[in-house]
Amino acid sequence: MIRTAQWNQANQTDLYDITIIGGGATGLGVALDAALRGFSVLLLESHDFGGGTSSRSTKLLHGGVRYLAQGNISLVREALAERTTVLHIAPHLAQPLPFVMPSYQWWQTPFYGMGLKAYDLLAGKAGLGSTQLLSSREVKAALPGINDKHLQGGVQYWDGQFDDARLALALARSAERAGAVTLNYADVTAIEHINAGEAKFNIAVTDRRLGLDHHFKTRALINAAGVWVDQIRQMAQPATDKTPHHRMVSPSQGVHVVVDRSFMPAEHALLVPKTEDGRVLFAVPWMGSIILGTTDTPRQDLPREPDPFASELDFILQEASKVLSKPVTRDDIKSVWVGLRPLVATPAANDNTATKTLSREHTIVTDPNGLVTVTGGKWTTYRAMAEDVMDACFKAGILPTRPGGATRTHALVGAAQIGGQNHALWQPPGPHLYGSEIEAVQQCPGADHEIGLGLTEAMVRFAARHEYAQTIEDVLARRWRVLFLDAKLACSMAPEVDRILREETGLDTDLAAFEKLTEHYLP
């Protein structure tokens, strides 16, 4: 059984150089970086890889236009450079995408045009295309379905788009190929600080699928648990130390709504940089649908499946209806998902702090017991964050210094393009998402049996055999993005996926739980 073999492999190492808690973008980036430097690596994820915030982004690989307006030039420069890197190492999962800012007042086109020209200058050779000032006719051609009443023109600029969940999966598999052990559904239940020779931590772990308990010793322990990093720090705190830690994370909730592509049948994304209340609105073509979002709302509880607040849905639908010619209603929503961003808290942060004012940059803290915690940041800069985590380990003397930089050019699993050109990500999902691995997928049984939205039986079997899929949600939410595109369709496809997964894993995949889960993705 594949699951048992993974755990047997994990238990073969008596002492790991580095263990990472958290299988989102940050933790997976650290795992790949450390493995490529030759360290023995164990990554533990309590649910599925990318199952939290890392699969619930706006699907934009961006340099940070909003941060440019805030004057954060260094963050913009870093993000632009990292955007180029991701486009090169995962061309099947990340691609350039043109954006259009429509102007409804005469001054907006020159004003935003100047700012985006500065964006071009900062990008330099990393630029994806030049900013252009558009007439109202050109805006309507680029954004069919836009409300053209009082339309004055607009500005076109370039950024990136990607499949966040599959990029997380590619990182996990690439780290594994580099020598790391990556385990999902591995719940850390206790952390003990020890001084047994080179071992500094003893970690108790429960396999949530097999129900078995394990213990692992490690020299370095990295806390990359996203919005849950504060809980991990508390768990790792010695029993004799009662000093409360300062809260590192001030969570922000981001809501995204998916509607049919008929609302804006475009190959360009739409960006409203400032709505009436100062927030930003995106309308992004993605996998045959349109993503509308996003919100930025403080939230102190940390549910695994957060639901949108009614006010957030109202904001997105009202603002989208203003800029689109056809009003968007709750009945038009095919799926809605919510992500909790791990924004870096400040000493003055409290429950009422506006999260849009908090830092999007990452922070790394090394506790006296040697635990290294990283939080904040964004998908685009995951690779730079990983390098910074390794540097923190070297600086603290936790690990011996070893040269890095390999992740800048290390192609991720499936990176080879098909026929020299990749399928556009704004089109419906298809075999292109596997990149160079499509032949291996089609060799699995059931390549001609389509279950729905392009998903075949062979893809489900490949997900179970090679992509760590354990549950129906793993397949329909992250290996194939049906749940994020059409929750009702995902529910109808679940019984067939359930049957195939049971054959592949020999384990219960809890069909009833998935059917209930789909309710969270509908308003």
- Domain membership of residue 242 (yes or no) is yes
pLDDT, position 170: 98
Q: Helices (H) and strands (E) in the chain — how many of each?
A: 16, 20
Q: Is 71 exposed, middle or buried (0-12, 13-18, 19+ CB in 10 A)?
A: exposed
Residues 137, 153 contacting (CB under 8 angstroms): no
Residues 185 and 328 grouped into a single domain: no
Q: Is 250 helix (H, G, I), strand (E, B) or coil?
A: strand
All residues at 6 or more sequence positions from 2 whose CB lies less than 8 Å from its CB, including other chains: 464, 465, 505
Element (H, E) at 50: none
C-alpha 273/C-alpha 183 separation (Å) is: 40
Parts of the chain with a pLDDT under 50: 348-358, 418-419
Dihedral pair phi/psi, residue 44, rounded to 5°: -120, 120
- At 485, which CATH number? 1.10.8
Nearest one of 255, 253, 379, 252 to 320, comparing CA atoms: 255
pLDDT attached to residue 353: 38
Residues 292 and 365 reside in one and the same domain: no
129 and 200 both lie in a single domain: no
Q: Is residue 9 part of a domain?
A: yes
Residue 114 sits in which domain range?
A: 94-161+250-341
Q: Which residues contact 474 (CB under 8 A, 6 or more apart)?
A: 48, 463, 468
Measured in degrees and rounded to the nearest 5, phi and psi for residue 396 equal -80, -5
Q: Name every residue whose Cβ is closer than 8 Å to that of residue 317 and which is 6 or more positions away in sequence.
A: 257, 292, 328, 329, 330
Give the residue from 374, 408, 442 where a domain finishes.
408
pLDDT of residue 21: 98
- Looking at residue 515, its pLDDT comes to 97
- Residue 17 sits in the same domain as residue 41: yes
pLDDT digits (tens, 9 = 90+) for 84-122: 999 999 999 999 999 999 999 999 999 999 999 999 998
Please report the pLDDT score of residue 243 as a whole number. Answer: 66
Q: Are residues 144 and 173 in the same domain?
A: no
336 with 360, same domain?
A: no
Choosing from 341, 358, 392, the residue where a domain stops is: 341
Q: Which residues of 462-480 are buried (b: 16+ CB within 10 A; e: fewer)?
A: bbbebbbbbbbbbbbbbbb
Tokens of 57: 């982004």
- Type of residue at 66: R
The pTM of the whole model exceeds 0.75: yes
Rounded-to-integer distance, Cα 418 and Cα 484, Å: 25
Cβ neighbourhood burial of 373 (10 Å; 0-12, 13-18, 19+)? buried
> Cα separation of 338 and 383, whole Å?
24
Q: Do 367 and 236 fall into the same domain?
A: yes
3-class DSSP assignment, residue 197: coil
Instruction: Say yes or no: 242 and 370 in one domain.
Output: yes
Tokens of 153: 């023109």
In a domain, 199, yes or no: yes
Domain stops at, among 309, 341, 373: 341
Res 300: pLDDT: 86
CA distance 142 to 145: 9
CATH code for the domain in which residue 187 is found: 3.50.50.60
pLDDT of residue 347: 54
Q: Contact 441/474 with Cβ under 8 angstroms?
A: no
How many domains does one find in the chain?
3
Structure-token match 């192609």, residue found: 411
Residue 73 lies in a domain: no
Same domain as 336, residue 261: yes
Q: Looking at the domain assignment, is residue 15 inside a domain? A: yes
CATH of the domain at 156: 3.30.9.10
- How is residue 166 written in tokens? 């599959």
Is the residue at 71 inside a domain? no
Judge residue 318's burial from the number of C-beta atoms within 10 Å of its C-beta, 0-12 exposed, 13-18 middle, 19 or more buried: middle
* Contact assessment for residue 483 and residue 492, using Cβ atoms and an 8 Å cutoff: no
Q: What is the pLDDT of residue 356?
A: 44
| Residue 59 resides in a domain | no
Judge if 135 and 204 occupy the same domain. no
Are 119 and 265 members of one domain?
A: yes
What is the per-residue pLDDT for 274? 86
DSSP H helices in 108-219: 108-123, 136-142, 164-177
Which is it for strands 181-183 and 335-344: parallel, antiparallel or unpaired?
A: unpaired
Look at residue 187 and tell me if it is in a domain: yes
319 in the same domain as 190? no
